Amino acid sequence: MHISATVIASAVLVACGGGDGSITLKPDRKPFPLVEATVSGFHAAMRNGDVSCRDVVQGYLDRIAAYDADATAAFPNSPGLHSVITVNSAALARADELDRSFFATGTMVGPMHCVTVLAKDNYDTFDMKTTAGSLALQNNQPPDDAYTVQKIRAAGGIIIGKANMDEFAFGFTGSSSVGGKTKNAYVPTNSAGGSSSGTGTSIAASLAMVGLGTDTGGSVRVPAAVEGLYGLRPTLRLVSQDGIVPLAHGQDTGGPLCRSLPDCALTMDAMVGFDTSKYSGQRTAKAWDAPLVASAAAYDAQTSRPASYTTTLSADGLKGARIGVVRGMFPTATAANQLFIDTLNAALDKMRAAGATVEDVDIANRTTILTGYASLSSYEFRDDLTAYLGSWASSGDGHLRTTEEVAAALITLEPTRVANFNTYVTLGTNKEANPIYQNNLKPRDEYVIPRVQAALDNKDFTTGTSKGAAYDVLVYPVLQGFNSTSVNSGSNNRLSPFTGFPALAFPAGFVKATNASPSVEPVTLEMIGRAFAEPTLFKLGYGWQSVTTARVPSPLAPELAK
């Protein structure tokens, strides 16, 4: 299930600026500011000799120590975010390797040179255990990296730690037996979303430069929504699933969470690519029984991705764009959520001002699409987890080998969670004979995809008659109201996984928190495009980022005094 995952310390040097000889690190340099730092700003400072890789890695490790754990005598003001499960003990050594190379040659090993990454703890890492938040997987030490992690390291990225998550990616509560309950980076009593809760909170709190999440039914976009981040759920089949603890192979995908969209584009460049693994999920069609693509050439032809997603970023990306607003996916206005709706509408007005055509649209049989079908996770988890656990020998780490063995271990290790876990085991047993599961395979695809495609094409679904020019994307809110102790996710999150189309969550604005906190909280929109339309999402998303000041730093994790 895995690929070779040796850290590439001697990666081929790639010119990333400089390249004209050695660079001198200034001995009197000032501390590099890490709050809201971007990759481009960091790399520019490196080329100027203002910061080293060790400076930045140590700085993020210091921030994790200061803000993530519960308050101690050393850190009496820590908010105790509980967003990071473990840190990488080899991170500083890798930083030193990159520094020796860079300052001697003036070149970076790749476009993610020393970009610090926090990966959700369901991504395999050869140098850290992968627990999926469960004590039952506390011995789970994969022999190599997930495909995406290996590619990020090869591009120069440093996985500085593993992020907390909803245990086994079950739900949106942000709680695990290994990491505890993740707090929200803006209002700590509010939900951190899920299941990529730790990734969302850690990136919002600037505990790393970028983060990796996974999304089966909303687990990238919901944390992005409650943390004011950009969160991309890529097209199903684009990103390899190899080496990621599965929830449902028919809906799973990995995706980035970032404070700045160019950083997400850079991360996606490293994550994508043809994977020869039989567990890649890179099929020739969305259909569950479609064959895997046979070659890199076939993968490239299918995805039609650019050489770099960063080339699709355009400051005036909204100019001339056509955006269909699915008003039926907005919440009903009440006194409690009027400000929420006003913030969404203000963002749409700003898009119009930036040159976009923004029109209301609906999706045929939308209610049936969003509430009449079910996620595949309850049915596919049992067999998928067993396949993952059996993909390497347990002689070295002694990890459990089947879903049933995990269930048995939970009785002692996590008795409060075993009942929920066993529900997934029961529903996944003999799923091929389950009519609900079967209805959510080909019948669901045949019902949902043409209707969403018709809305994007701006055609009447029944007659095929054109209603006007096609839309680039459809837009709707991620959530159904302000966040609170329990995230108000609704069912909008289902549109992307049910179609397999890519969707980008992006901050519409920040408003005064609705409780007694002096903080603010984010309001977030989502845009969905056609299959493999990531370039369109990046173009329009960066067009939005260029005309807004929506992002607000987390008040719980200010710059550390140096």
Residue 415 CA, distance from chain mean position: 30
Quickly state the pLDDT bin for 16 (edges 50, 70, 90): very low
Please determine, for residue 246, whether its predicted confidence score (pLDDT) is greater than 90. yes
CA distance 331 to 328: 8
Q: What is the 3-state secondary structure (H, E, C) of 201-226?
A: HHHHCCCCCEEEEECCCCCCHHHHHH
Please determine, for residue 126, whether its predicted confidence score (pLDDT) is greater than 70. yes
pLDDT in tens, 469-490: 999 999 999 999 999 999 988 9
Instruction: Identify the pLDDT of residue 73.
Output: 87
Instruction: Identify the pLDDT of residue 21.
Output: 81
Please determine, for residue 136, whether its predicted confidence score (pLDDT) is greater than 70. yes
What are phi and psi for residue 34, nearest 5 degrees?
Answer: -100, -20
Instruction: Identify the pLDDT of residue 515.
Output: 63
Instruction: Identify the pLDDT of residue 500.
Output: 98
Give me the amino acid identity at 422: N
Instruction: Identify the pLDDT of residue 288.
Output: 82
**For residues 79-105, average pLDDT:** 98
pLDDT in tens, 274-293: 999 999 999 999 998 899 99
Please determine, for residue 334, whether its predicted confidence score (pLDDT) is greater than 70. yes
Which residue out of 83, 195, 260, 377 is catalytically annotated? 195
CA distance 503 to 526: 7
All structural domains of the chain with their residue ranges:
39-547
- % of the chain residues with pLDDT over 70: 96
CATH number corresponding to 39-547: 3.90.1300.10
Give me the amino acid identity at 477: P
Q: Any catalytic annotation for residue 195?
A: yes
Which residue out of 83, 101, 120, 202 is catalytically annotated? 120
Instruction: Identify the pLDDT of residue 20.
Output: 56
- Chain mean pLDDT for the chain: 94
Question: Which region holds residue 166: left if phi is over 0, alpha if psi is between -120 and 50, else beta?
Answer: beta
CA distance 344 to 323: 14
CA distance 80 to 91: 22
Q: In terms of C-beta density within 10 A (0-12 exposed, 13-18 middle, 19 or more buried), how is residue 252 classed?
A: buried
Instruction: Identify the pLDDT of residue 549.
Output: 86
Please determine, for residue 543, whether its predicted confidence score (pLDDT) is greater than 50. yes
Please determine, for residue 386, whether its predicted confidence score (pLDDT) is greater than 80. yes
Q: Any catalytic annotation for residue 78?
A: no
Instruction: Identify the pLDDT of residue 7.
Output: 32
Segment among 1-15, 59-73, 213-227, 410-424 with least mean pLDDT:
1-15
Which residue out of 176, 196, 202, 219 is catalytically annotated? 219
Q: Any catalytic annotation for residue 308?
A: no
Please determine, for residue 509, whether its predicted confidence score (pLDDT) is greater than 90. yes
**For residues 525-553, average pLDDT:** 96
Please determine, for residue 312, whether its predicted confidence score (pLDDT) is greater than 60. yes
Segment among 196-200, 371-375, 511-515 with least mean pLDDT:
511-515
Instruction: Identify the pLDDT of residue 56.
Output: 98
Beta bridge mates, 161: 87, 118
